[in-house]
Structure 1
């Protein structure tokens, strides 16, 4: 299961990480894509698409989403690493040790390109891909978003049929908003759907910047005739209190369904979400949020998934985009 610590990287040393070594001479299986493809399972191919979509997942995230135990997961992840399908790094901590962090490797990116009939650059993969993620100043933020959504995808009280990254959300709604993620969460019996945009606030910038995003969400709702809640997960109780005070009037004026939470309250499947307007007697679970706003509608529809007409064809065309399901096609497959 993913770590239960509300902070994804407690005690990490800034801009420091270790890398495991591969053999100096790669095996033929790493360079021959046709042969490599025969060694990959549907779950492996799903993981390649997930890492392309979400940039980085820890071994805890991947175990929770796709495996029955850490030992089985770590063994397969190690094999994929030595095939070149995945890259990995381990951030250094001031105390204790961090889990292995996985990114898309060159062979994985080449497989994506080959399946789509395009060249490798169309995937956005570069030789320094792993290092750029490992030393990115936004690594904490990315891991925080992915940890929160992994909890929603794997808890027994929720299901997560849709999980789009910041990049995919921007592809669809970038004319209006740039959320950190977009998701659909439901109860196990799928009776209540909570579509939502997610803003993951680490407290690194002032509240005015968050408030300035709200008119964009209102414009999106008006333009598309949808009503999709915005969930804002903050860095702590004081930050959440200040944020709610700052946003209350603007959210009411724009008629936006907004709920907030903070890292000190537990996992996102628990009753940690507090709507702004109208405010209930207490905090709610995602399923209860869906009931609290009976008139909400998802921004993501079937027509949203239609790809834009390609301006370039052939192997120089961009990589076709399709949403990646948050769970593998056959959970627990070998």
Structure 2
């Protein structure tokens, strides 16, 4: 991908996306059949994840699928060399950003072949990586993915986490829009399961860029969804700062109560690196912060969202991708 010019102002003006063009790549791409013999089940899972979630950093991939950052970096470089993946790295004012991986041309061809689809139906273009790198929503999308990769793989030392707990389902904003876009457009939908209880939830990842009134207006859509589908997932709202969290809680409390919605909030000031810990507070006066497991117990009448069952309109690429690879840590 050729380097793109830095905008003079607006989104992208504070950094320039560097394409990973300095890494050696074969003069000709291997055909899909040859390439398939070199790939593991984890590699194929990763191509599905990048098709679903658009962009993941090295650290996010390592967290989900590898035992160490170094082993993840080695394999990701190999997949980049074979054009299964593409990548860029934002140039920051200080320090350095991790590599950001996207789906590459060979990866798109491989997914289409596995699904028995015309590659054009994937809407992959040579400009896809550049479009993602300079998207105004890049920071928001990475924030959503970082939060959910942490929820997918809590460690036994994580505050409030149960061994084996994590996400069993994770749908991207695009998948949510395909299923429920006529009513709601959440940033993600997921199931957090600790083995004894399950918390189905929509996620609103709030960066503070929207007025409080606009966030409040979204609650009517979630209430309409509950009424129309007779299902009741929770709504988790994650903000960047504790002050924004408090402002939202003050603005939304009465509306959530009147609409009979199960809403909990938290912020990066609380969650830090342990978002499944005791940092989530139900939206009611005097509520104490608690874990996702306790939220599920606090709301025993929650039910998974309607519309998750496969239909005739689904293809292999519109079905949910497991949040974790088929055999974590296996393969090269």
TM-score relative to the length of structure 1? 0.89
- Give the conservation status (yes or no) of the 8 Å contact 1:52–1:104: yes
Deviation at 1:73, TM superposition (A): 0.8
SS at match of 1:18: strand
Q: Deviations over 1:119-147 (max 9, x none)?
A: 21211211111111111110000000000
Q: Which runs of 5+ in 1 are unaligned?
A: 1-11, 311-317
- Give the conservation status (yes or no) of the 8 Å contact 1:15–1:135: no
2:117 and 2:323 map into 1 onto residues whose CA distance is 25
Q: How many correspondences in the alignment?
A: 310
2:244 and 2:284 map into 1 onto residues whose CA distance is 18
Instruction: Give 2:219's aligned residue.
Output: 214
Aligned counterpart in structure 1 of residue 275 of structure 2, from 259, 264, 268: 268
- Give the conservation status (yes or no) of the 8 Å contact 2:20–2:86: no
Instruction: Give 2:39's aligned residue.
Output: 40
Instruction: Give 1:234's aligned residue.
Output: 239
SS at match of 1:233: strand
Instruction: Give 2:56's aligned residue.
Output: 57
| Structure 1 ranges of 4+ moved more than 6 A | none
> Relative to structure 1, is the Cα distance of residues 25 and 90 closer, same or farther in structure 2, using a 3 angstrom cutoff?
closer
Instruction: Give 2:18's aligned residue.
Output: 18
Does 1:288 pair with 2:311? no
- Give the conservation status (yes or no) of the 8 Å contact 1:123–1:319: no
Does 1:74 pair with 2:80? no
Q: Which runs of 5+ in 2 are unaligned?
A: 1-11, 156-160
Aligned counterpart in structure 2 of residue 253 of structure 1, from 238, 250, 258: 258
> Relative to structure 1, is the Cα distance of residues 153 and 309 closer, same or farther in structure 2, using a 3 angstrom cutoff?
closer
Instruction: Give 2:322's aligned residue.
Output: 325
- Give the conservation status (yes or no) of the 8 Å contact 1:198–1:230: yes
> Relative to structure 1, is the Cα distance of residues 25 and 75 closer, same or farther in structure 2, using a 3 angstrom cutoff?
closer
Deviation at 1:26, TM superposition (A): 2.9
Instruction: Give 2:122's aligned residue.
Output: 123
- RMSD of equivalent CA atoms: 1.8
TM-score relative to the length of structure 2? 0.89
> Relative to structure 1, is the Cα distance of residues 220 and 20 closer, same or farther in structure 2, using a 3 angstrom cutoff?
same
1:18 and 1:91 map into 2 onto residues whose CA distance is 6
1:308 and 1:173 map into 2 onto residues whose CA distance is 17
- Give the conservation status (yes or no) of the 8 Å contact 1:257–1:277: no
SS at match of 1:306: coil
2:169 and 2:22 map into 1 onto residues whose CA distance is 35
Q: Deviations over 1:249-292 (max 9, x none)?
A: 11011000000111111231111111013753x10111111111
Instruction: Give 1:3's aligned residue.
Output: none
Does 1:183 pair with 2:190? yes
Deviation at 1:23, TM superposition (A): 6.8
Aligned counterpart in structure 1 of residue 203 of structure 2, from 179, 188, 198: 198
1:201 and 1:252 map into 2 onto residues whose CA distance is 20
